[in-house]
Structure 1
Amino acid sequence: MKDKRIVIVTGGTLGEWFRQELHEGDILVGSDRGALFLVEHGYKPHMALGDFDSVKEEEKDRIRAASQAFMDCDPIYKDLTDTEMAFEWALAQQPSHIVLLGALGTRFDHSLANVHLLRKGLEQGVTCKIVDASNEIIVIHQKTRILRGRYTHVSLLPLSLEVTGITLHGFQYPLHQATLQIGQSLGISNVLLEESGLIELATGLLLVVQSRD
């Protein structure tokens, strides 16, 4: 699956906006209720997996019938969240990109755990991002250019204890060889001055959150 994108649709906040995030040729993975969401919107998941404790038995049967592959597990004895199960499956396919939709929602614990999955993808050399109606989230560890697109703000937050050598080019509020530590809000709500901007850093893992109100 080299040079292929895998899109994981999981059980957080979803809406009609999800369609604009899909590309022709994407491999669609439905995680638990995310699989039902895909089926209800006319898509046939390449893989549906999870414990399916968020759907009714007849909905589970519908997902199984509509999916090219189906994998369920015992909800009591599994160690991974449904989203992490889907993410691990996706990584094993060795794609070039993984996109997570429905990874943010009312359960902050699940949302934060899903953000942490981006680090696992980075460690395996797979480009990963979380997207919802208002945000796009990536993790970087080296020089990265980002595009403004539909977003009005860019926030930088350390995912490691500290990130050093942060230098920004093309931003309203510049930084030069700055250090961000967990608990600091210095990197919140910056703005790109042009269509793209460059982020440089020396050490650490940096969350880049593009957002719009």
Structure 2
Amino acid sequence: MIINILAGGPEELLPELADYKEENAIWVGVDRGVFHLLNRNIKPVIAFGDFDSVSQEELSLIESQVAELKRYKPEKNETDMELALNWAIEQKPSIIRMFGATGGRLDHFLANVHLLLVPLKAKNPAIVYLIDHQNIVFLKEPGSYTIEKMNSKKYISFLPLTLNVSDITLKGFKFPLKNQHISLGSTLCISNELISDYGTFSFSKGILIVIRSHD
């Protein structure tokens, strides 16, 4: 099962959502993102939010179209996206995608990047992706991974999320590395590219942010 979550970030930054409508995918709306989904004829199975970013007319439409609406007061300990992500993790999907979670307020964007840690801390196997029209962002724990070339997003960057990332090795890349140590604040692994259809990256300690992007 795949769970797609759409938040209320700037609509112009959304990818083409039709590309993510697999048969085994279900949709979740967050705040104004629910309205964006309904405008694209996508009905979420559940919605979360305080809905302070929609008009009364838009809220009436949401209430009439969404069977399960989780409405909260603005004063709460979790963001609307965190509530939706926690619900999604409980469903035990293989993949969770978060859309509408970039752009706009920087505090919201950075909080959403940090939310990628939630399944890792919970030892949940779901892979969580943060996706907009220009970027795909995800986290990796220590290990060895194969990564496939994407012509639509040729740049691949690796950033440490933890204080240190040890023994990072890149093979099949334009700028290869072997057992390199990088620390928080390092820009050594920005804007790399694959030179063949596949490459590998590995490291022994820390957490990496992986970003696939295009200009």
Normalised-by-shorter TM-score class: over 0.9
Q: Residue 202 of structure 2 is aligned with which of 177, 183, 200? A: 200
- Provide the TM-score with structure 1 as the length reference: 0.94
How much does 1:16 deviate? 5.8
Alignment partners' CA distance in 2, 1:94 and 1:103: 21
- Is the 1:144–1:199 contact (alpha carbons within 8 Å) kept by the matching residues of 2? yes
- Provide the TM-score with structure 2 as the length reference: 0.93
Residue 127 (1) aligns with residue 127 (2) = yes
Q: Give 1:8's aligned amino acid.
A: I
Q: Give 1:70's aligned amino acid.
A: L
How much does 1:136 deviate? 0.5
Trace 1:38-117 onto structure 2 (pairs within 5 A).
Answer: 38-75=37-74, 77-117=75-115
Q: Which secondary structure state, in structure 1, belongs to the residue aligned with residue 190 of structure 2?
A: coil
The number of residue pairs the alignment matches comes to 209
Q: Give 1:92's aligned amino acid.
A: E
- Is the 1:164–1:203 contact (alpha carbons within 8 Å) kept by the matching residues of 2? yes
Alignment partners' CA distance in 1, 2:163 and 2:129: 21
How much does 1:203 deviate? 0.6
2:214 corresponds to: 212
Q: Which secondary structure state, in structure 1, belongs to the residue aligned with residue 178 of structure 2?
A: coil
Alignment partners' CA distance in 1, 2:5 and 2:145: 24
1:22 corresponds to: 21
Q: Which secondary structure state, in structure 2, belongs to the residue aligned with residue 176 of structure 1?
A: strand
Alignment partners' CA distance in 1, 2:165 and 2:203: 7
CA 59–154 in structure 1, closer or farther in 2 if over 3 Å, else same: same
- Residues 13-33 of structure 1 show CA distances to partners (whole Å, capped at 9, x for unaligned) of 334622223322211000001
Poorly superposed stretches of 4+, deviation over 4 Å? none
Unaligned 5+ segments in structure 1 are none
Q: Quote the RMSD (CA, aligned, Å).
A: 1.2
How much does 1:103 deviate? 1.0
- Residues 153-195 of structure 1 show CA distances to partners (whole Å, capped at 9, x for unaligned) of 0010001111101001110001100111111110100011112
Q: Which secondary structure state, in structure 1, belongs to the residue aligned with residue 116 of structure 2?
A: helix
1:180 corresponds to: 182
Alignment partners' CA distance in 1, 2:186 and 2:153: 23
Residue 147 (1) aligns with residue 152 (2) = no
How much does 1:126 deviate? 1.3
Alignment partners' CA distance in 2, 1:160 and 1:16: 29
- Is the 1:44–1:68 contact (alpha carbons within 8 Å) kept by the matching residues of 2? no
Alignment partners' CA distance in 1, 2:170 and 2:28: 35
CA 134–181 in structure 1, closer or farther in 2 if over 3 Å, else same: same
Alignment partners' CA distance in 2, 1:74 and 1:16: 30
Alignment partners' CA distance in 1, 2:98 and 2:134: 14
Unaligned 5+ segments in structure 2 are none
2:5 corresponds to: 8
CA 133–16 in structure 1, closer or farther in 2 if over 3 Å, else same: closer
CA 129–16 in structure 1, closer or farther in 2 if over 3 Å, else same: closer
- Is the 1:18–1:132 contact (alpha carbons within 8 Å) kept by the matching residues of 2? no
